Each structure stands twice: as structure tokens, then as C-alpha cells.
Chain A
Amino acid sequence: MTFEFEWLFDTPFLLEMDDTAGTLKFKDLLPNLSARAPEYAGVKDFIEGKSNPKLRPHRRVDPKRAELFCSSRAGHTSITLKVHRNQYAYGIRTLLNTVNELFGFLHLHCVEYLTVTFDLPEE
């Protein structure tokens, strides 16, 4: 099942739900961001850091309920949340909030990538 979000930019975000695998995936959420891109390391650290036990519960991805990871394929980066025990309500909320926070991170630290990729006005 695929859902289309018109949200942060004019480009729609596609969310793929695979209830067999138990995954929610924003496929190619970050176009033209390969694993070799300088920004990728920061994105990966950000995503992996979301499970850090030092984070406050409302900001952390609870590993008992879901796992969050990013992957790069064909030069594009996807963000995936694998839910445990069909906790999709938790999964959707967590994933959407994570993507929101991820783009805040990109706005602060990778603004040139956003400008080039999503046509963000330079002003």
C-alpha cells in the first residue's frame, strides 16, 4: 500500500506500507543523496541517534516497539521504520515526527542540499 504526502515541499513524499514485512518506508525521501554524499553521514548519524537511550522517551524510537534505519539505493536515500507486533499507529506517528525533525536537521546543516534538490528559495 502506498500513501502520498504533500507536506514539506511541493514534491510529494511516498510512504510504502508493507504489512507482511511490518515496514513503513518513505522511499527515496532524500533524492540524489547517495551513501557517498558528504551529507549522508550526518543523516545516518541522525537516524541512528533516534534510538539512543539517552533521548527523552517522547523523542526516542523505542526499540521494543520499532526500529528505524536509513538506506541508500540508486543514489537516493530512504527512511524505514520496522514496527514490532503491528504497532502501526505508533509507527506512523513516530515516522512522521522523525521525518519532520530530519528536515529540520537538514534545514540547519545541509541547506545547500535542500536548495538544489527541493528548489528551496535561497532567501
Chain B
Amino acid sequence: MAKKSEKHTVESEHDEQASGVSRRNFMKTAALGSGVAAMGTSAAFASVESADYSIRVPDEFELPQKTDLPKIDFGGETDRRRYGPGVTQAMRGADVFARACKEEGLAALFCCPGNYQIVTAMANAGIPAYGGRTEGPMTSAADAFIRVTGEIAAASGTEGPGFTNMICAIAAANACRTPLLVVASNMDQRLDDTERGIQRGYQQPTTEGIKKYGKRVVNGSRIHEYAGYAFRALRTGVPGPVHLDFTLEASSPIFEDPGDLDLYYDKEHYRTDSKPHPDPKDIQKAADLIKQAKRPMIVASTGVFYDKAWDALLQVAEKNQIPVVESGPMRGHFSDGHELSASTAPSALYSVDLVILVGQYCMPHTGEYAFPPDARYIRIDPGAGDIGRNVPIDLGIVSSEKAALEALYEALPEQRRDAWVAEIAEAREAFEAENEEYYATGLGFEDGVHQAVLAKELADFLYKGDIPREQTTFVAGGFGIARYVRRYVRAYRPGQICNGAYQYGSIGPDVGYAVGAGIAVKDGVGPQAPYKGAPVVCVTGDAGFGYSGIEVETLAKYRIPAIVIVWNNNAWGTWPGGSRDPHVGHVHLFQENLRYDKMGEALGGHGEYVTKPGDFTPALERAWKVAVNENRPTVINCQGKKEYSTGRPGMLGKVEPGCMSYNH
């Protein structure tokens, strides 16, 4: 088993006396060690004596593709001054962790500067790394990346304020049950509670209640072991965020030999891919309930996506003619174009007599879903501990979603439910007719772009024109505008819609989500593979843009072809209620006619300002060309009015589950 090495040392980034390594030196030597030296030591640090102040993307953005990854291994060179091509670098604690992440297939890292050792180690291990402007939206980017790919990604922040900037986004990911790996540096344990220097603080208590698992890793010899803890939590059961913070005692030590590490064995031995399968008796009971039901409906939720159960779902639905409605923080695991899709048939929900919840991790409370109070419930979930929470069930099945659906397929007979399917179709038609009415009403507002006009014309552009309808990955952000947009946008394949801030209800992560979804499509990860390089679209409001709009710069510098549509109504969505009191109404307002499009241009993107309904589609077409031809983002600033949220149709409500749903 492991034997302790006497050679491992701790390098303190904040104690230059101990080792001569400061934060500045670390970055310099790490950069040299990564192969920049190949370009000549002066190139990276020479001043630019050009009078050209046009926006440009620095050459360093191309280096990861042009530079070989460094060799890092046990017994490697410990003196950073000797790093260079052909030199195998020493394996530090951070490198051990990064290697474990790479072997687990960690698909991307989203970060801001800080947590240098872990971030550099991950990048040097070949995990694609993306740096943004603020930790919160970059954590949201990781969340969205995972929600549209099903692959695990990481978000990183530095100790103290960098980490606390991530809290809202971690909480949102927790509500979404996103398997997000959160990593942060956390000073050194030996000086705990001294307030020496800056940025000291305990992190784990801060994420209490908003993570699935967390650990402050303080011992370098156990860093691989805790990678195992992290990935067992990320890859099994109901997913959720995992938060690890690393002290220097964990990330810095050099390991000469694998035997220096505790419990150093690989993922084949530290976890299993085995999943729970249903009890055949429970499947038979479910099949009996389904056969007896006149109007059953499957609610296909989060677990269907993460368990990649969409094919099994389709088979069950078609064999027994069971309509399917979606819920969850992502959409598309049952196509809105299928005749059995009920996601755009809200009036049919009141007819359901049997609800089959599959992978519904974020459970609604009684009455939050529109189903009749006398409907019966089957719930399929990997965790027995949650079955029966909030809504009483008639049958609970503990199983992975895919295994349960496959077993149901075998147990169910072929069955026709033509009258029920016809009712679903009528309900869809009634919903579309209502949407057309809203659009016709919206066109009557000539002094700005009404929400219904934005939503319908966007949907027509994405699904009814030359673009294949299943191509465009969409971020459904915003609040008031989302009440309209969700009625019109559609999902035809897995991972096509990232369903906004979901249950946590935060305002403003949307441009961060666009970064994550954009990178997922740009790199063709998971179900985004057939659409690699295609533009992505995000809708947000002016309130939301205020939180994460700066990340348009991130979109621009990574050449992500994203179109960010800002519905600018000069106010927070809370204005209709807030305006009732004259002493506080101003709190809900912004200046009128602000130019977010110019902000997009100033950050390296393209900008469009649309003030009339007839100008929206042409602006969208121009933005699409910029995306396709230049791989540059666009901000389309659609000028509306806050008054459009009052009167008719005004602020719309929603019914859950289905396309309008974002609470559960």
C-alpha cells in the first residue's frame, strides 16, 4: 500500500520567504512550463507599441490548440526553472486531482483567475478551460454546459471573494440537480483563523444545503481519494453539485511515487457504473395501472435526460400510446414534434387520470402541477428516500429511469388510445391558436417590440425557415419575457433548450448560460455533436442582462456564435406590482431606451437595436449571418415598454408541467 515520501514539500504562494515562490512568479513559471517558452521568452511579455486600438483577440487564445500538453508524472523535475519541452514535470497534488478528472472525462472547466494550481493542472491535463469575467456567470456557464450535454463540467473560483461570487450559481445548479464540480482554492490550513493576508474563510459551511457533497481537502496524500468521493457523488444516484476546496497543503505537495498517495486506485475500482433496476413486481403493478387508465400521461423530467433514457421513453410512449409532457431544467428529451407530445397542450392536463413521473427530482407541491386532484401517481426515481415527498403516490419504483422504462416497455402491451391522443392534438391546436392571438395583439403595439412579436418571430425563424428545426440550442432566460418565449420556442431533440434559472429563480445568469451552451455546441459535446459549430440563441431581459451582460466579452473572445436577445422594457419584471406605491416604484425602473447593443459592440460583438416590430426579423437575420460567417456574438436590443406587461395580454401566467414550466 502507500508509503509516505519524505520528499514532498508545501509551497506557500503567500510566503515568499519559505520557497521564493510568489503568485506572480508562479504564473510566470507555469506559463513558461506550458510551452510558451517555445515562442521565445520575450514574446509573452513584450509591450505592444502599436497605435491600433481596435478590439482584437490576443494570440494566446490559439495557444492551447497549437501547444503540446506538458508531460507531468511521478518522479518528474521539481525545479520549475528547468521546465521546458521534453522535460517531465513533477506530479503535484493538483496534478493528481487533475489527472483523476481527466480520466473521468471531465468535459470542460469554466473559471476566472485564481485557484491557480488546480486550474493550471486541469488545463495541462487537457481539460478545455474557459476564462470569463465574473465567477457567478462562469459557474452558470458550467451549469448550462452540463444541462445541454449531460457531461460533467467544473467551475472554479479563487479563495474568499472569488468563491463567494459563485454562491448564487451553485444554489441554482443545486435546484436543477446539476452534477457540477465546484473547485476553489482555500489558502493554507496551517494559518487557519489568523486572518493573515487576505481572502481567508471557511467555504464548506457556505455551501451547506446547496450541494450534494463537499469537502475541504487539506491533505495532499488523500487528494486522489477525494477525487473518488467527488465523482462517486457526481455520477451516481440523483445528481447535484459537489464542492471541493483545496488548501495549499493539498494542492502543492510533490509526489515522487504513486505509493505516496492514499487509496490510489482508478475509477474502475473506486466507483461503479452499476445502476438500480426495478423490482419486476413493481413493474407489473405499474403496467396494470397503466392498462386500466383511460388517460395516462408520462412526465419526463431531469432524470430522463441524465440517464440518457430518451429512446426507452419513446418506445414506451409509442407502444402504449401514452402522451408525454416534459419538465425539468432542460427540454428536448421528448420531441415537441411528436404526436404524443403534450408539452404544448396545457388544457389536456386536466383530463389526466394517471401521472407517471419519471426522474422528477425537483418535486412540485400539491396543486402546483395542473393534474386533477383525483389523478393517481406512479413515481420512478433512483432514490427511495424522495419517493412520496410533496405529492402522495399510488406506486413508487426505485430504479434508474432507463432501466424502469425498458422494463415497462417489455411489460406493457400494444395499446391504442385514439380518443386521448385526439384530445391532446386539440389541446395543442388551442394553445397555438392562443399564441397566434397574442401575436396579432402584439403587432398592434407600434411604439416598440411586444413580447409576443419577439417570441413568435424568433420561433418562426428557428423552426419554420431554412434552419433545421432541431439545430438551434436555446437558452430560455428572462422573467417577464420568458412567460411569452416559453410558449413559442420548441425542443425537438435532447439538450435543445436550457430552461433558464429553473427552481431557484435567480435573475441574470442567462448570458452565462449562453457561454456554457455556446461552448457545448461549438465543441460538439454529447447530444450537441450533430450541430457542432452552429449558432446558439439566448433570450433575456434588461434586468437579467445587467447581471451577466459582461460575459458577451467572453462570447466574443472565444468566438462563440451566440445571439443574445435582450427584451428591453426599461424596468424589472416586478414593475407592475411595484408601481402601485409611489414611494418605491422607482426601485423597479431603469432609464429608458438604454443601448445594450452598443455594450455588445464595445465588448467585441455585433449590436442591433430594434425599435419597431417589423425590424426584429431582419435584425435576427443579420445577427445569424454574423454568427455563421464571423463566429461573433450579437446583442439584439429589442426596445419594448414596461406598459406592455399590463393590460391585455399583459403579464402572462403559466401552467405546469409543459413548455411554460420552469419551477419544477
Contacts and interface: CB of A to CB of B under 8 A. Distances in A.
Interface residues of A, number: 24
Contacts, number: 62
A59 B349 CA distance: 11
A96 B479 contact: no
Nearest to A111: B653
A1 interface: no
A63 interface: no
Interface residues of B, number: 26
A74 interface: no
Nearest to B577: A122
Nearest to B370: A104
Given A104-B370, A122-B573, A123-B479, A59 B350 contact: yes
Interface string B635-664: 000000000001000111111000000000
A117 B162 CA distance: 41
A70 to B, nearest CB: 18
A7 B370 CA distance: 12
Contacts of A14: none
A109 B655 CA distance: 11
B653 A100 contact: no
Contact of A97 (B346, B372, B573, B652): B372
Contacts of A64: none
Interface string B271-310: 0000000000000000000000011000000000000000
A36 interface: no
B244 to A, nearest CB: 31
Contacts of B294: 58
A8, A96, A104, A108 — which one has the most chain B CB atoms within 10 A of its CB?
Answer: A108
A62 to B, nearest CB: 15
B588 to A, nearest CB: 10
B370 A56 contact: no
A73 interface: no
Contact of B351 (A56, A110, A114): A56
Q: Nearest 10 CB-CB pairs, A to B?
A: A111-B653, A107-B653, A8-B367, A97-B372, A101-B350, A123-B505, A108-B653, A104-B370, A96-B373, A122-B574
Given A7-B366, A59-B350, A122-B576, 18 more contacts: A58-B351, A93-B374, A96-B372, A96-B374, A97-B374, A100-B370, A101-B350, A104-B349, A104-B655, A107-B655, A108-B652, A108-B653, A108-B655, A111-B653, A112-B650, A122-B574, A123-B479, A123-B505
Interface of A: 7-8, 56, 58-59, 93, 96-97, 100-101, 103-104, 106-112, 114-116, 122-123
